[in-house]
Chain A
Amino acid sequence: MNGRNVLGATLERYAVPVVWLLVIAFFALRSDSFASTSTIKLILSTQTVILIATLGLLATLAVEEFDLSIGSVVGFGGCLLAVLDGRDGWAPGPAIVMTLLVCAAFGALNAVLSVFAGVPSIIVTLGTGTVLAGVTLGVTDSRVVTGISVKTVRFMTDGLLFGIPAPFYGGLLLCLIAWFILQHTPLGRRMIFIAESREVARLAGLRVSAIRFGAFVVTSTLGGLAGIVLAGTNSAANPQAGAYYLLPAFAAAFLGSTTIVPGRFNAWGAFVAVYFLTTGITGLQYLGYAGWPEQVFYGGSLVAAVTLSHLAGRRRLPRVS
């Protein structure tokens, strides 16, 4: 590689973090209250749900599958926890474990339909996600469920370190695990090959079906975990909440794939993307723009990220079938 290439590659790797710093600087200049520890705390503690959902999504995206049910799983996970813990009086521990198990089972259902029945995952999860959203409304009678144990709520909201609550550090730990698996284990490498060419992977003796199956289960389980954090943080679960998490998770995952390890879905890229998008939205809210920035930011960055990486020749456009 010559010097120009090295420079170009470095620029590509760190473009999003650099823009992120510029955005922070811009808002800090424009708004007096933006650059404060309370803002940083707010940003770091409220976006854990999206971070966990995005990390979950990486599992399926890394093997070139699309899980559109992620939003519904987040909403369902929160509501199931609230119903078990708040309404039916389960102890917090068993309620959380049960919620995760049910979400994992839902992921297994997606996997059976996509991997073994061979239906394109984008269609399967569009359908199952919609069904799950309906089930969520049914289970909760379409009402917000309250009464989650104080223990759970306090764990989710009390500051653990530097006044930032535990879920953020949990998300950080998950990032570390995802980074390790995707970039430093044979499994991560095999997932890349499955995404690039399922036939090459199969002929090289990889357990392609098992890995794809596992990816769906991981996505839904982490979706459920994100839902638990959401319900715990709010001490209540809104059956409609899931709809707000589908697009942010996809936007962050795709934007993340253009940075840190450009061209591949990667954990730290996703981390940077989640907080970059949040910073932009929070900043605009500080300047007095409310309501519209969220959708414009998430939708715009999803399209921009996919377009840019496609134009850079980094990624073929996703296959639907």
Chain B
Amino acid sequence: MTSSSPTVNRYDAIVIGGGHNGLTAATLLAQSGRQVIVLEAADSLGGALRGHAFHPGFRAPGLVHILNRLDPEVIRLLKLDTTALSGHPAPTVALSELGNPAILRGAYGETLDGVSAQEAVAFAEMRRKLVFQAGILRRFLRRRPPEIGRITLNDMTSFAGAGLSLLRKGREEGRDFLRMLLMNVADVADEYLDDDRLKGLLAFDATLGIHLGPRSPTSLLGLYYRLTGEINGAIGNQIVARGGLAQAFERAARAAGVTIRTGAAVARIIADRGTASGVVLETGETLSAPVIVSAIHPQATFLKLTDTAELGTGFVRAIGNIRSRGNVAKLDLALDRLPDFTGVSRADLSGRLVLARSIDHVETAFNPAKYGAFSCDPVMEITLPSLSDPSLAPPGAATLSALVQFAPYALKTGWDSGRAEFLAIILEKLEHYAPGLGNSVVAASLMTPVDIEARYHMPGGHWHHGELQADQLLVNRPVNQAAGYATPLKGLYLASAGAHPGGGISGLPGLLAARHILSGEKP
């Protein structure tokens, strides 16, 4: 060993995983003057934002096709180039079998088209209520979760703030908040609405990416989570993702002086007597740093990269018990022309189309997932990404992207045979809402949770890096002993969607993890 070599690979912080959370954490740490390196196993950065060509001339935008929660503070602190976020708010089109969709305009249906005046009033009342309640929860999503047994003054302030904002609206609102918090979305929708298209949409939005049906207890939390997000200054807003956001995160990181290495898969985290001090790459190369930030799935972090001899039995047990089996398949279609969805105007095709006819439709689509089978009448969310980003398809052609559920990770019959069968079912359903679409398909790519796991290194193919349910939130995300970004392995921090507050393109896990590390608080 030469005398200079030990210092070559020495950094102040190593970030494992070049997804948007890893890049957010890395950028913020580098801005503080630290020498930071990001190690990404894939050949390009961006994680779930990472697109890929799935047919000559056609590109998929990535696992993400809707942006609805990129945190404004992340944008501000990273000085993120927001070109990729420009564009009009995308409407949500709740498709109908009869060809008369209900359309939500503005931020999550500030106005509605295609519903009765009475229903529009009821929806507005419900929307006001849910956005208000989500606002209470939002306070807790944008800060480190409180540590049970070590409640700080800041925590108390935050609790008091939440309490006050409840009380300001009167006792009735406070009572309703506590009443509704753990309800299921179906009961709430039934309380306010009559229109099956709207109720189906709410049921779908509350359960997308979560192993719950709309009638499962606590399923309203998924909808709250969506309504804690904002984009371009409006809560509940959404835009159809276009390319460029991953590159914007990368540019921000580079501008802050972050060293970036792609194709650099980490083989293991070096640790001794419960303290992490570096990583070994699959090539055998060693990098050392007093701070290791893992912006990949917590189970991959602890069960694949860490020697369990460096972790407590109880902790390993808890990590192993994280529920992280995805239920969503990602469909990308190459089409030789723009499809026509019955009753949907050309302009609204650039929005988000949701195929969920009713609460029952979503519930019955969920049922087989409990028993390891996919739905034969799935529900889905559809976008046409090439409308927002023409570079994704050749001139005149189009791409269609859909998140389809329920498609359980552990399919009993196996996805090798199930994939083609499920694809045929999806195409048949699409044909019903967009007659002629089948004939325009040039190529189809269906990623099941198993494929998502392989391509995006997400155990279980779960984009939240673990179920976003009451037992895996806040002080229990991903598990209680590692809920505050620091972990029982000293020097190792978590910063992925598996950490608080959870998944989606928000940057918050990365931001809050970096903030905790910078605060210098002992783990």
A binds B: no
